[in-house]
Amino acid sequence: MLEVEGLVKHFPVSGKRGSVVHAVDDVSFSVGAGKTLGLVGESGCGKSTVARTIIRMYEPTAGSIRIDGIEIAHMKERQLRPIRPKIQMIFQDPASSLNDRMTIGEVLAEPLIAQRIVRSVREGRELITDILEAVGLSAQHIGRYPHEFSGGQRQRIGIARALILNPQVIIADEAISALDVSVQAQVINLLRDIQEQHEITYLFIAHDLAMVRHVSDQVGVMYLGQLVELSESEEIYQNPLHPYTQGLLRAVPAADPFTKRARTEASIDGDIPSPIEPPSGCRFRTRCPLAQEVCAAVVPEMRDVGGGHRVACHMVA
């Protein structure tokens, strides 16, 4: 349903002619209908840039993006218009992603009006009511404003807005990170129920590896604009191969103080290098405890090491 191949997104650096930010470099993956790919990594690794490039908020520098077999990477806006309902997005902050001057009815009617499905809130009332009920709200909320709702309710409205055009793919960009833990679980359960009912494909972006494990069929790990490991969800957690993935899993908080101390001592050292001048060869080598000379000289290829488990590391046999 969603196929990304060789995706590249560079941003020019103001005042530095010829310099670019290597936000995304040669990222490839595919997600089947009704399946979920979790995309994880440290802040600044390029996860959100991947999402916004796929949805064409950003123009890709290079690469291919296919939705249900339709190539959209370099489509003009006029061509994209009928494709946009197929792929929608749930944003990280439900407060800032909703217009405080619009009622919930107006927020949900906006995409319907933009796609010329209805001409007004009144005309779209039945559709709006149905989608509100599907996310655990009601028709009584149509005339209210975003500030009258809790954070969890606002995110449900964001989910309703993404669903109202009946998409085939939804990108959830850190969609639960701004919510309380108990509310996170409710939203995750809601997203899973919706996926089962409508066979929607999810690209679920997060930094919480524990939560990603519960929602994803596959997990991709990103570092400094590149995918370094990709496999089935349980395989990644039970048998992480890339040193970066291993470090991320060791950094997951643990309730036991002794386990927590052991994980902290074994966590990833150093800072992420500049994406303007990334390291040669393997980009993780400057922080990797296993780095050898070959890591600086040769860019590791993403290769299958068995069972669809793909990893980009010279030190993995």
The pLDDT of residue 109 is 93
Q: 128 in a domain, yes or no? A: no
User: CB-based burial of residue 270 (10 Å sphere; 0-12 exposed, 13-18 middle, 19+ buried)?
Assistant: exposed
Mean pLDDT for 78-88 is 91
CA angle 208, 194, 60 (to 5 degrees): 60
Q: At what angle do helices 104-114 and 151-163 cross, to 10 degrees?
A: 20
The pLDDT of residue 264 is 47
The pLDDT of residue 258 is 56
The answer to whether residue 210 scores a pLDDT higher than 80 is: no
The pLDDT of residue 262 is 46
Give yes or no for a contact between 128 and 105, defined as CB atoms under 8 angstroms apart: yes
Give yes or no for a contact between 54 and 39, defined as CB atoms under 8 angstroms apart: no
Give yes or no for a contact between 302 and 230, defined as CB atoms under 8 angstroms apart: yes
The C-alpha atoms of residue 66 and residue 113 are separated, in whole angstroms, by 26
The C-alpha atoms of residue 157 and residue 107 are separated, in whole angstroms, by 9
Q: 304 in a domain, yes or no? A: yes
Q: Can you state the percent helix, strand and coil of the chain, rounding each to 5? A: 35, 20, 45
pLDDT top residue among 96 and 295:
295
The pLDDT of residue 204 is 93
For 154: left if phi > 0, alpha if psi spans -120 to 50, otherwise beta; the answer is: alpha
Containing structural domain, residue 31: 2-101+145-311
Q: 116 in a domain, yes or no? A: no
pLDDT in tens, 247-292: 888 877 665 555 554 444 456 778 888 899 999 999 999 999 988 9
What's the sign of the alpha-carbon dihedral 22, 285, 4, 45?
A: negative
Q: 131 in a domain, yes or no? A: no
pLDDT confidence tier of residue 205, bands split at 50, 70 and 90: very high
Query: What pTM was estimated for this model as a whole?
Result: 0.87
Q: How many domains does the chain have?
A: 1
Q: 38 in a domain, yes or no? A: yes
The C-alpha atoms of residue 204 and residue 220 are separated, in whole angstroms, by 10
> Which CATH number do you get for residue 242?
3.40.50.300
Mean pLDDT for 38-62 is 92
Q: 111 in a domain, yes or no? A: no
Strand, coil or helix: what is 280? coil
pLDDT top residue among 226 and 256:
226
Give yes or no for a contact between 158 and 97, defined as CB atoms under 8 angstroms apart: yes
Strand, coil or helix: what is 79? helix
The C-alpha atoms of residue 295 and residue 276 are separated, in whole angstroms, by 19
The C-alpha atoms of residue 155 and residue 153 are separated, in whole angstroms, by 5
Q: 270 in a domain, yes or no? A: yes
Tell me the pairing of strands 87-90 and 169-173. parallel
Tell me the HSE value of 8 on the side-chain side, using a 13 A CA sphere.
10
User: Which of 149, 166, 165 is closest to 157 using CA atoms?
Assistant: 149
Give yes or no for a contact between 180 and 153, defined as CB atoms under 8 angstroms apart: no
The C-alpha atoms of residue 255 and residue 67 are separated, in whole angstroms, by 41
DSSP 94-134: TTTTS-TTS-HHHHHHHHHHHTTS-SSTTTTHHHHHHHHHH
Q: 107 in a domain, yes or no? A: no
pLDDT top residue among 207 and 301:
301
The C-alpha atoms of residue 258 and residue 279 are separated, in whole angstroms, by 35
